[in-house]
Amino acid sequence: MSPMKAQRFFIVALLCLSAAGASLALARRLSQEELLRGADAYYYALQSEYFAKTGAVKIPDSSPLHRLTGTLRRMGTSSEGALRLWQAASLFLFFLAMLALARLWSRDLSFPAALLLLYLGLSPSLLFVAIEFPKFFAALLLLPFWPWPLNAERKNSGWAWAALPLACLLHRGAVPLAAVFGLAALAVRTQRRFRMGRGFWLSLAAILLLGLAALFVLPDRFRLMDLQRLAWETPRAGFFSLLSRAQLPLAVKAELVLIPILTLGIAWRLWKRQPGRRGILLPLFSLWLPAFFPFGGEEVFGVGERYAILLPTFSLMACLVFLTGEATFPWKKWQLASLAGLALLPIPLAGPRLEAAHPKSLDPDFAAYRQVSEALADRDIPMLIAHKGLVFYYKYRWMREAFPYEPERHWDKTRIWRLAYGITPDEFHYRLSEECGWESERILRLATPSYILIREDCWQGFREKIRREDDTDLYERVWKSPQNPSQHRPAFLYPKHAEDKDDAFPALPKK
């Protein structure tokens, strides 16, 4: 092996070992914890457990992730362990995809590009997404393949276009990203083929600016919120909405601001020093657009904020493409020594990185959910109404029916129980009918503070007596709090349940 090849092998091997070590250290840290991390963690555990037992998912969902973790469950891993394994392994898979992107653009990695790849093992926002949105992150594993066809020097990379629709199939959240990237890439290829000049780019920029202006200035005439998924949200740019969230970790906020600024600086350098590569700027920066579309709203980590949290990831990918064109080989000895030393950092920092990126304070009170679920273990509850986080944990723990919305109108309310949250016994006492009193066995105090179990017909009778003008605070807790669901199932969810075989509690009335 020649010295050049040996050095290339050493650099790639060092980066791979560092990334693998970081993922293994993260997996070990997660495995030592009693409860999962992530707001919807027990939704994934529920799907995995149900698939392992029945060969189908409990809640209609086409994501292959549930089938993968369910298969791991069948092989002997717990459902919690399977999810933790995916959360850690997906970060390593993303690193490999980014490494493949860098090697496609240039087989010789520059020192800055290698440092950037090393940083993937330290990125707070990347870890946050892997923990909080495992399904979405599965689609993002294909993201580094999107720029492949833009490399004019690689003639046989057209197959990589398939990564765009494949990502969309893995998660519908990838659709806007694939759309803006695909259109921008098509514009670049059109410009290259027909050798269009500055006027083409000015016209394209004008069209994009007018489109953005229409979204912000004329929200009543043209509203993306008209899409069913977004119908109840107030238009707001996800980037600014996300930065305003007090609970978002400071490390993630810092990365949201600093990494894009660094990317703009590197892009300016590329613009000045490599005129022939300016065309790749448009597709790579087009991925930023959804973070500034008015997709955001009051919902924490709604559509807009999920795109905004990816801004550092898009920026890192762009930086990697920009820096690969500046490779100088062979490296100097101090560069090799520096990389070898820095490659050790992601492994011991796996724990501090986890706490900085996704502290346990972000998670729901899973300990309380467990206590409540244990209290309900021996009770006959055909259907339980509770807030979403508790519903997923309860269903996972006991494989029983639970629902995080207002019960369907055609359901038998006498067979439904509800976990009311934040309502005091006295507030119930003065408003419950006689047949629903504390001696009736239709209402029960639980040992877990703030939770009371009540039959749904009694709850609805109690709720009808609450008026805003009489007690504003109680009205807000009963009618408006997500802890006490009063909103019906969103319309866009009904098609998923059209083929449900649930005779007791069907989503749609029987014909």
Does residue 358 surpass a pLDDT of 90? yes
Confidence (pLDDT) at 232: 44
Does residue 210 surpass a pLDDT of 60? no
- How many Å apart are CA 256 and CA 124, to the nearest integer? 10
* 307 closest CA partner among 161, 185, 143, 87: 143
Contacts 24+ apart (CB under 8 A), 211-220: 212/289, 212/292, 212/293, 215/293, 215/294, 216/294, 219/294
If you ran DSSP here, which 8-state letter would residue 296 be given? Answer: B
- Beta partners for 455? 417
What is the DSSP code string of 356-398?
HHS-GGGS--HHHHHHHHHHTTTS--SEEE--HHHHHHHHHHH
Confidence (pLDDT) at 487: 92
pLDDT, averaged across the chain: 87
Does residue 249 surpass a pLDDT of 90? yes
- Tell me what the mean pLDDT of segment 171-191 comes to: 85
Does residue 226 surpass a pLDDT of 50? no
- How many Å apart are CA 170 and CA 64, to the nearest integer? 7
The rounded Cα 54 to chain-centroid distance in angstroms is 27
Phi, psi values for residue 408, rounded to 5°: -60, 150
More confidently predicted of 209 and 122: 122
- Beta partners for 18? none
Query: pLDDT by residue (tens digit) across 12-27?
Result: 999 999 999 999 999 9
Beta strands in 456-507 (DSSP E): none
In this prediction, residue 146 has a pLDDT band, given cuts at 50, 70 and 90, of very high
Confidence (pLDDT) at 205: 57
Does residue 356 surpass a pLDDT of 50? yes
Tokens of 31: 């495995």
Does residue 307 surpass a pLDDT of 80? yes
Do 479 and 466 touch, CB atoms closer than 8 A?
yes
* Domain residue spans of the chain: 3-361, 366-497
Q: What is the dihedral of CA 236, 237, 243, 244, to 10 degrees?
A: -10
Confidence (pLDDT) at 225: 41
More confidently predicted of 395 and 105: 395
Confidence (pLDDT) at 429: 87
In this prediction, residue 80 has a pLDDT band, given cuts at 50, 70 and 90, of very high
What's this model's pTM, rounded to 2 decimal places?
0.88
Query: pLDDT by residue (tens digit) across 403-435?
Result: 999 999 999 999 999 999 999 999 998 899 889
Tokens of 401: 């029916």
In this prediction, residue 275 has a pLDDT band, given cuts at 50, 70 and 90, of confident
Per DSSP bridges, beta strands 383-385 and 451-455 are unpaired
Map tokens 């509690």 to a residue.
505
Query: pLDDT by residue (tens digit) across 367-413?
Result: 999 999 999 999 999 999 999 999 999 999 999 999 999 999 999 99
* 265 closest CA partner among 184, 319, 326, 314: 319
Burial of 425 (0-12, 13-18, 19+ CB in 10 A): exposed
Do 325 and 284 touch, CB atoms closer than 8 A?
no
Per DSSP bridges, beta strands 402-403 and 443-445 are unpaired
In this prediction, residue 222 has a pLDDT band, given cuts at 50, 70 and 90, of very low
Which region among 82-96, 104-118, 228-242, 311-325 has the lowest average model confidence (pLDDT)?
Answer: 228-242
Tokens of 169: 């199939």
- Tell me what the mean pLDDT of segment 77-87 comes to: 97
In this prediction, residue 231 has a pLDDT band, given cuts at 50, 70 and 90, of very low
In this prediction, residue 509 has a pLDDT band, given cuts at 50, 70 and 90, of confident
* 315: amino acid identity, one letter: S
Query: pLDDT by residue (tens digit) across 439-448?
Result: 888 999 999 8
In this prediction, residue 214 has a pLDDT band, given cuts at 50, 70 and 90, of low
Do 110 and 328 touch, CB atoms closer than 8 A?
yes
Does residue 82 surpass a pLDDT of 60? yes
If you ran DSSP here, which 8-state letter would residue 157 be given? Answer: -
Per DSSP bridges, beta strands 416-421 and 451-455 are antiparallel
**In which order are the strands placed within the sheet that holds 451-455?**
402-403, 383-385, 416-421, 451-455, 443-445
Reported as type and span, the H/E element at residue 148 is none
Give the angle subtended at the CA of 48 by the CAs of 44 and 54, to the nearest 5°.
140
Query: pLDDT by residue (tens digit) across 109-138?
Result: 889 999 999 999 999 999 999 999 999 999
CB atoms within 10 A of CB 223: 14
Does residue 211 surpass a pLDDT of 70? no
Phi, psi values for residue 293, rounded to 5°: -75, 155
Which region among 209-213, 374-378, 482-486 has the lowest average model confidence (pLDDT)?
Answer: 209-213
What percentage of the chain exceeds 90 in pLDDT? 62
- How many Å apart are CA 456 and CA 111, to the nearest integer? 64
- How many Å apart are CA 258 and CA 254, to the nearest integer? 6
Confidence (pLDDT) at 223: 41
